[in-house]
Amino acid sequence: MVKVQNVMVFHSFSDLEEAYQETLNKEEERVAEQRLKVLALRQNLRVRELELLDAAKDRLMKQHVEQRCVALNRLLDDIKWKV
């Protein structure tokens, strides 16, 4: 194989086949690396989603507790007023 002005010239079929196999192997490695990156990003996304769900649950629980406290204080005020 000889490279002339950015064009590869192959002297035999085996050179062409070797170049093809090398290119194929490089592309397979690149795709495998991209798959690993995608898997890592998906995992990070799942973790972030769970964190957001936990935060939303915490806010909702806090809101319910505050509502119950307000209701309890009203009841206590009613009891004090009646006594």
Per residue in 12-59, pLDDT tens?
778 888 888 999 999 999 999 999 999 999 999 999 999 999 999 999
Backbone angles phi, psi at 2, to 5 degrees: -130, 140
Model confidence at 2, pLDDT cuts 50, 70, 90, reads very low
The H-assigned helical ranges of the chain are 13-82
Q: Where are the domains of the chain?
A: 2-82
